[in-house]
Amino acid sequence: MAALACCQAQEAVTPKSESVAFDDFFVDKALRLELYQCGDAREMTTTLQTLAEEPCWPENPNSLIMPFPYGKYSVKAWDAASNRLVYAKGLDSLFAEYATTKPALSGTKRVIQTTARIPMPKAAVKLTIERRNGDNSLTTIMTEHLDPSDIRIRRESPTKGDKPFEVQNKGDAHHCLDIVFLSEGYSATQEDKFKADVQKMSDYLLSVAPYKGLSDRISVRGVFRASEESGTDLPHKGVFRNTALNSSFNTLDIDRYLLLDDNHRMHQMAAAVPFDTIVVLVNSTTYGGGAICLDYCVTTTDHPSSPMVFVHELGHCLAYLADEYVGNVSYNDIYPEGVEPVEPNITRQLEPDKIKWKSFLSKDVTLPTKSSRETRAERTVGAFEGGGYLSKGMYRPQAGCWMGSANPKEGFCVVCDDAIQRMIDFYTSKPELPK
């Protein structure tokens, strides 16, 4: 999702896997799948390139089946012996966004890296990748039979020269939200600057709701890798820099949209520490950032709005929040007409009983709700028209929210706040003790 100008049946979803016991099916390591997606708007293939082992499974062993309907794709693992679903999680990729752009619609094919990760299975599994269709149903687009003894699984040591460090460690990675910051566009002499930038971003994140109240469950780490040159590519200004992860502005031809080509290399670098979500810090003063939901987000570090951009982009990446602003993107029909988006903070519904954030609606609120000085001041929760890049027919919960504006005073709306908390519960919850 581009930087500032991402459930149905959302209510009371308890993040709990369907009683899949981790130890029955998995060991405490991860299996990374490095994939390529190639195609245009009409057709696409997803192909496995590399399998690699990661040293631990940092995600929650009690949350093996994601309870949220998030992701343009879904990764599923089925125990081969019993054909039982033992792992499921949403996945997004830049390709899903590319497929909605004009070049893709006119048949220009592109190849884009993406990465999936599952816990390391104890025995053979069938792995599937499913694509979400226009009506939100899922279709299987790739099937692989994986065996943990497969000699193709790379079991390599981390890249020498990468320097992992801790900012705060709140304990067992299985039950913490583990955020890793990766350096991009920092030269060998700028390691201290990177560490200071990580501290600045981390301090800001942990000072705002809902992260502030949950900071005892959030671990923060960094990995420093020196780039040949400082900065990043600004193609619209003719600026190109040789950097560790090949980040660049002008993603999908949007000047402020900053992502990177080397998704596989980014995951290889991140695997030096336990991580649930990746933040790439780009050493630049230019305004911008970007996010691929459920995978990673990017922000520059030295624009006055950089901490705000970071918190906004992490909202996409971590909690599958939609942009609540209107227009200003290259996407076409990213939210097909007549289909309720799966993101928690936008809706096409106006019936109070069906609206996904009905438990938060202000008493006797009129739907749709008019944005006014009063509704802003009272933080009215209703259905305000405009969101998901669309000015008509799409509604957001409150007049103001960080998913729609860069005003530091705004904060997240109650629905985004709740969605972030539920995702942090998904990554951190512990099994209930027997009574």
Q: How far is the CB of 420 from Zn ion (least distance, A)?
A: 10
> How open is the CA angle 258-256-162, to the nearest 5 degrees?
25
Closer CB to Zn ion, residue 86 or residue 401? Answer: 401
Q: How far is the CB of 417 from Zn ion (least distance, A)?
A: 8
- β-pairing, 163-168 vs 218-224, is antiparallel
Cβ–Cβ under 8 Å, residues 141 and 129: yes
The contact mask relative to Zn ion for 77-96 (x = CB under 5 A, - = no) is --------------------
CB environment 157-188: b (16+ within 10 A), e (fewer) = eeeeebeeeebeebeebbbbbbbbbbbbbbbe
User: Nearest approach, Cβ of 135 to Zn ion (angstroms)?
Assistant: 25
Span interacting with Zn ion, options 48-56, 63-71, 85-93, 395-403, rule CB under 5 A? 395-403
Determine, following the binding rule CB under 5 A, whether residue 413 of this chain makes contact with Zn ion: yes
Q: Which two tokens stand for residue 331?
A: 């996407």
Sole binder of Zn ion in the list 114, 305, 345, 429 (CB under 5 A)? 345
Residue 399 touching Zn ion (CB under 5 A): no
> Smallest gap, in angstroms, from Cβ of residue 402 to Zn ion?
7
CB 411 within 8 A of CB 402: yes
Q: Which is nearer to Zn ion, 260 or 401 (CB)?
A: 401
Which residue, among 189, 154, 300, has the nearest Cα to 234 in the 3D structure? Answer: 300
Query: Rounded to the nearest whole angstrom, what is the least distance from the CB of residue 274 to Zn ion in the complex?
Result: 29
- Distance between CA 319 and CA 423 in Å, rounded? 6
> What is the size of the binding site for Zn ion (CB under 5 A)?
5
Count of CB atoms situated within 10 Å of the CB of 361: 17
- Report, in Å, the least distance between residue 381 CB and Zn ion: 10
Q: Which 164-183 positions form the footprint of Zn ion (CB under 5 A)? A: none
Structure tokens at 54: 């990661």
**Shortest separation between residue 209's beta carbon and Zn ion, angstroms:** 12
Give the nearest distance from C-beta 344 to Zn ion in angstroms.
9
Residues 6+ apart with CB under 8 A from 298: 184, 247, 258, 259, 260, 279, 280, 281, 282, 289, 290, 291, 313
Joined together, the tokens standing for residue 214 give 């949950």
Chosen residue from 96, 254, 394, 403 binding Zn ion by CB under 5 A:
403
215 CB-near residues (< 8 Å, 6+ apart): 168, 170, 206
Out of 142, 280, 322, 401, the only residue in the binding site for Zn ion (CB under 5 A) is 401
Of 107-115, 190-198, 232-240, 409-417, the segment contacting Zn ion by CB under 5 A is 409-417
416 is a contact residue toward Zn ion (CB under 5 A): yes
Q: Which is nearer to Zn ion, 176 or 401 (CB)?
A: 401
Which residue's CB is nearer to Zn ion, number 260 or number 321? 321
> Which residues make up the interface to Zn ion (CB under 5 A)?
345, 401, 403, 413, 416
